[in-house]
Each structure stands twice: as structure tokens, then as C-alpha cells.
Amino acid sequence: MNKVYKIAAIPGDGIGIEVLPEGLKVLQAAADKHQIALEITQFDWASCDYYLEHGTMLPDNWFEVLKNFDAIYFGAVGWPDKVPDHISLWGSLLQFRRRFDQYVNLRPVRLLPGVPCPLAGREPGDIDFYVVRENTEGEYTSVGGRMFEGTEREFVLQESVFTRHGSDRILKYAFEMANNRDKKKITVATKSNGVAVSMPYWDERAEAMAAQYPEVAMDKQHIDILCARFVLQPNRFDVVVASNLFGDILSDLGPACTGTIGLAASANLNPERNFPSLFEPVHGSAPDIFGKNIANPIAMIWSGAMMLEFLGEQDERAQTAAADIMQAIEKLLLSGPKTPDMGGSASTQEVGSTIAQYLQS
Ligand code: GGG
């Protein structure tokens, strides 16, 4: 009997609403081709419109409902003209990441054939690495507060949180990953010269982890020069591990160096599989282009391939389906219709339907 993969599909806001259907279209085409059973349930939660109607981003029972799914396939969140960004993000995506302990945010940075690279002289194969972002603590906290508001003594305090448990588990994941790759190389993003408490601690934990992986070459780099090297020497990276905020910044910069953020996929993983993992494009809701039908759906589609790969770790059909989706994406990038961010004039649906058709042929 085939496993039925139960997927919660949440479009969210803005172009999330436009790209998610394309992702589902392609997932279904891959599933049909490989006789994989998918059960998709769509939710209108985690959107600013839901907030305007209900006063919260999620219903009270969201955890009980979503925990019964194998995965969450998520579009994007945020519409600052409707709801302040920190309220929409903390009320939805960050709740999922924390309560489902999705402590690994895995973000591939890969230059694919057919994609014009903004960095001169770079060929596909030159840039192929992963940003492994810590996803549950670090600089993303609600610890702090405001005092003396509206007076001359007004001040704001915002704390970061680096726990031994949280640092060690993300570093372990990243070192393990590096150890299983050919280059056996890891870059640790830091800023321990300026951020004088949390970052030296992060470095210490990285050094302790490195001692357990003698075959992995570790390189620590301050975030400022690391950003410069993403642009100048992207071929030197293999696995880059970073705190929550640094990882977020690097994983926009990386895909920008490989053509367009519209291709950037990501997986928010609970590696122990105690809870559903979440798969989403790196890009946000982009209200400025919503409704124009020009959003690139490939990041969403690629995130779907990552979902099948993770869900079907023990399921050859799901692995093949994920590989087929990646092949179909590459075929489109070489010779198919493209959205304006890649120099084309195709619509969001045209790109999604073409990739789905490649899978059917
Ligand atoms: N699909 C990703 C998304 O909606 N991102 C909104 C955002 O601002 N995310 C911040 C983050 O990933 O930390």
C-alpha cells in the first residue's frame, strides 16, 4: 500500500497566492507520473486578510490541526499596508518554525544552466552550495522592550538568544552535511569582533563541533567580508552555516548572485520528523508585483521538489519525482518561457504549466 502524503497548502499573502497553485500543479503532475498519493488541504490562515477578519494570523487550534500533516507547503507572508510586518511574521511563519521545531532552514544556492549570472565569468557548476540557517533563536527574538516612550529618555532593547542546544544542533547538522559532500568544507558566518558576547560563543561552539569532524575544513568569516566573497568568490563555498539573521541575509544574497531571488527555494526542517517540516520560496509576498501575473513560480516549484525529497527519504518514487521536477525546471531555464525577472515575458501560469507539461511528456 502506497503512503499517502498529507500536505497542508498555505498561500499566505501577495505573490504567495499566485505561485502556490503553480507549485501544486507541478507537484500533482510529478505525483501522477510516479503514482505517488498526495492529499492536499488548503488553508487561508497566515495571511493579512485573515488577520483583518479575525484579529489573529492563525486560529487557536492551528497547532493541533497542522501537526497531523506530513508537511506544510507555504507561499509567503506580509502585506505591510494591511498589517505591520513584525505582527504578520511573528503571528504565522515564525510560529510554525518554532512550535514545529523546524530548526534547520536549508537554502540551496546554485547557478543553473540557462540562467544569466550577474557575476562575470561564472558558469553553472561554479556556484553550488548550501546556506544552513539556524531557524528558531539567535537574533530573531521577542526578548526586549521599550521604556520611557515618547520622552527624551525613550529607549529600546532587543536581545539575541544563543543556547548551547540550539547552536550545537544546527552546527551538527551543517557539519554532518559538509562531511557527506565531496568538498568537505564548511564556512561559519560570524561577527565575533563586533558582537562581543553571542558571536564569540557561537564561534566556540563551532570550534567544539569542528573537533568532532576532523575531515571537514572549517573556515570562519565575519559576515561583512563573507557577503563580499559571495559576490567575488562564490566558488569557494560548499556549506555555509549561519545564525538566524545572518542566514536570512546570506540566503537572499546568494540567489541574487546566481540570477534571481525568484529561483530561491528553501526547506524549514524538523530533521527528527517529530513535526511537519515546511517548504517555501525564500522570497516574500512582493505586494508591488502582486496581481500582475509576473511572479516567478520556480522558487515555489523547487521548494516542492525539496519537500518530496525530504518526505520520501525512504521512498524511491518520491526521490525520482523530485529529481524529475528539477530536470523539468532546468529544461525550462534552457529553452522554455521565462518570467520578466529572467528577461522573459511569460506569465506565472505559463511557466508553471510548461514545467507540469514537461513532466507529463
Ligand atoms: N516565503 C518566505 C516569506 O514569506 N518570507 C517573509 C519573510 O520576511 N521572512 C523572513 C524570514 O524568513 O525570516
- Quote the distance between the C-alpha of residue 290 and its chain's center: 20
- Of the three residues 257, 288, 305, the one that is the final residue of a domain is 257
CATH, residue 174: 3.40.718.10
DSSP output for 58-78 = S-TTHHHHHTTSSEEEEEE--
Task: Say if CB 107 and CB 264 are below 8 A apart.
Answer: yes
pLDDT over 60 (residue 346): yes
Task: Using the 3D structure, point to which of 226, 257, 288 is the last residue of a domain.
Answer: 257
CA 264 – ligand 1 centroid, Å: 12
pLDDT at residue 250, as a whole number: 97
Residues with beta carbon inside 6 Å of ligand 1?
76-78, 89, 248, 280-281, 284-285
Look at residue 43 and tell me if it is in a domain.
yes
pLDDT score, position 177: 98
Ligand 1 atom closest to the CA of 285, numbered from 1: 4
User: Is 252's pLDDT higher than 60?
Assistant: yes
Q: Are strands 104-110 and 4-12 parallel, antiparallel or unpaired?
A: unpaired
Q: Are residues 231 and 280 in the same domain?
A: no
Q: Give tens-digit pLDDT for 170-218.
A: 999 999 999 999 999 999 999 999 999 999 999 999 999 999 999 999 9
Q: How far is the CA of 125 from the centre of ligand 1 (A)?
A: 28
Which stretch of 66-75, 113-122, 228-237, 300-309 has the lowest confidence by average pLDDT? 113-122
Residue 132 has pLDDT above 70, yes or no: yes
- Which of 133, 43, 140, 128 has the alpha carbon at shortest distance from 89? 140
As to burial, measured by CB atoms within 10 angstroms (0-12 exposed, 13-18 middle, 19+ buried), residue 244 is buried
* Judgement on whether residues 171 and 91 belong to the same structural domain of the protein: no
Place of cell 565575519: 222
**pLDDT value, residue 131:** 98
Q: CB of 100 within 8 A of CB of 270?
A: yes
Alpha-carbon distance of 296 to 215, in angstroms, equals: 39
- Give the per-residue pLDDT at 190: 98
Query: Which one of 57, 93, 135 would you pick to mutate in the ligand 1 pocket, going by the greatest count of ligand atoms within 8 A of its CB?
Result: 93
Q: How confident is the model at residue 361 (pLDDT cuts 50, 70, 90)?
A: confident
Q: Are residues 153 and 134 in the same domain?
A: yes
What interface predicted TM-score (ipTM) does this complex get? 0.91
Q: In this predicted model, what pLDDT tens digit does every residue of 78-110 receive, in sequence order?
A: 999 999 999 999 999 999 999 999 999 999 999
Mean of pLDDT over the chain: 97
Residue 25 has pLDDT above 90, yes or no: yes
pLDDT of residue 2: 78
Instruction: Give 261's DSSP letter.
Output: G
Over the Cα atoms of the chain, what is R_g?
A: 20
**Mean pLDDT along residues 245-260:** 95
Indicate if 131 and 249 belong to the same structural domain. Answer: yes
- For the chain, what percent of residues have pLDDT higher than 90? 97
- Residue 1 scores a pLDDT above 90: no
Percentage of the chain modeled with pLDDT above 70: 100
| Residue 262 in domain | no
Candidates 173, 154, 170; CA nearest to 162 is 170
Q: Hey, which of 18, 77, 98 would you mutate to test ligand 1's pocket, going by the most ligand atoms within 8 Å of its Cβ?
A: 77
Tell me which DSSP letter residue 129 carries.
E
Could you tell me whether strands 104-110 and 277-281 are parallel, antiparallel, or unpaired per DSSP bridges?
Answer: unpaired
Which phi and psi angles does 132 have, rounded to 5°?
-110, 110
Q: Atom 7 of ligand 1 has which residue's CA nearest to it?
A: 284
- Domain range for 199 is 107-257
Does residue 263 lie within any of the structural domains?
no
Q: Is the pLDDT of residue 226 over 70?
A: yes
Instruction: Specify the pLDDT at position 212.
Output: 98
Residues 276 and 271: their CA atoms lie apart, in Å, by 10
Helix (H, G, I), strand (E, B) or coil at 286: coil
List CB contacts of 202: < 8 A, sequence separation 6 or more: 162, 167, 188, 190, 192, 243
**pLDDT value for 225:** 98
pLDDT at 11 over 70: yes
> Distance from CA of residue 59 to its chain's centroid?
24
Confirm if 267 and 279 have CB atoms less than 8 A apart: yes
Residue labelled with grid coordinates 530536470 = 327
Ligand 1 centroid – CA 309 distance (Å): 22
In a domain? residue 332: yes
Among 257, 283, 298, where does a domain finish?
Answer: 257
Whole-number Å distance, alpha carbon 231 to ligand 1 midpoint, is: 22
